[in-house]
C-alpha cells in the first residue's frame, strides 16, 4: 500500500502534467486555447460589470413600470369612485323624476276628470235650456192652435 504522501505526490504530478499538456499541447480549431480561456477569465469581471449594469437598468425599468402601473391603478380607482358617485347621483335624480312624473300624471288625470265633468255639466245645462225653450215655444204654438181651432168651431157654429 502506498502512503498518503506518495498518493499526494502522485496527484500533484498528474495535475502538473495535465497543466503542461493543456498549455503547450496542440489546440484544436473548434476549441479555444488555454490562453484564450485565461483571457476570458480576466475579462469576466468586465462582463459581470456589464451584466450588473444591465440588471440594474432592467431593475430600474421594472420599478418605473411598477410606478406607472400603480399610478394607473390609482387613476382607475378614482375613476371607479367617481363613476359610482355619478351613478348614485343619477339614480337619486331618476327617483325624484319618477315621483315628479307620478305627481304630474295624477294632476293631469284630475284635470281631465274635471274637464269631463265640466263638459257633462255644460251638456246638461244646454239640454235643459233647449228643453225649456222648446216647451215655451210649444206652449205658445199649442195655445195658438187651440185658439184657432176654437175660433173656427165658433165660426162654424155661428154660421149654422
For the segment 74-88, what is each residue's pLDDT rounded down to a tens digit? 999 999 999 999 999
Q: For residue 29, what is the enclosing H or E element?
A: none
CB count in 10 Å sphere of residue 124: 10
Which cell numbers hold the place of 78? 378614482
What digits encode the pLDDT tens for the residues 90-144?
999 999 999 999 999 999 999 999 999 999 999 999 999 999 999 999 999 999 9
Rounded CA gap, 5 and 15, in Å?
15
Parse the chain into domains and list their residue ranges.
33-159
Percent of the chain with pLDDT over 90: 59
Rounded CA gap, 31 and 37, in Å?
10
How far CA 109 is from CA of 19, 56, 100, 103, in Å, comes to: 112, 78, 14, 10
Give the gyration radius of the chain's Cα atoms. Answer: 62
Amino acid at each position: 500500500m502506498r502512503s498518503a504522501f506518495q498518493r499526494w505526490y502522485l496527484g500533484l504530478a498528474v495535475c502538473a502534467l495535465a497543466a503542461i499538456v493543456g498549455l503547450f499541447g496542440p489546440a484544436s480549431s473548434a476549441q479555444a486555447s488555454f490562453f484564450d480561456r485565461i483571457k476570458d477569465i480576466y475579462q469576466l469581471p468586465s462582463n459581470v460589470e456589464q451584466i450588473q449594469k444591465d440588471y440594474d437598468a432592467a431593475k430600474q425599468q421594472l420599478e418605473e413600470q411598477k410606478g406607472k402601473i400603480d399610478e394607473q391603478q390609482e387613476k382607475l380607482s378614482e375613476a371607479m369612485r367617481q363613476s359610482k358617485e355619478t351613478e348614485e347621483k343619477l339614480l337619486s335624480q331618476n327617483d325624484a323624476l319618477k315621483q315628479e312624473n307620478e305627481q304630474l300624471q295624477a294632476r293631469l288625470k284630475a284635470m281631465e276628470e274635471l274637464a269631463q265633468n265640466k263638459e257633462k255639466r255644460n251638456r246638461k245645462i244646454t239640454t235643459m235650456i233647449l228643453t225649456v225653450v222648446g216647451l215655451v215655444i210649444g206652449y205658445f204654438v199649442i195655445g195658438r192652435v187651440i185658439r184657432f181651432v176654437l175660433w173656427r168651431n165658433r165660426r162654424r157654429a155661428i154660421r149654422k
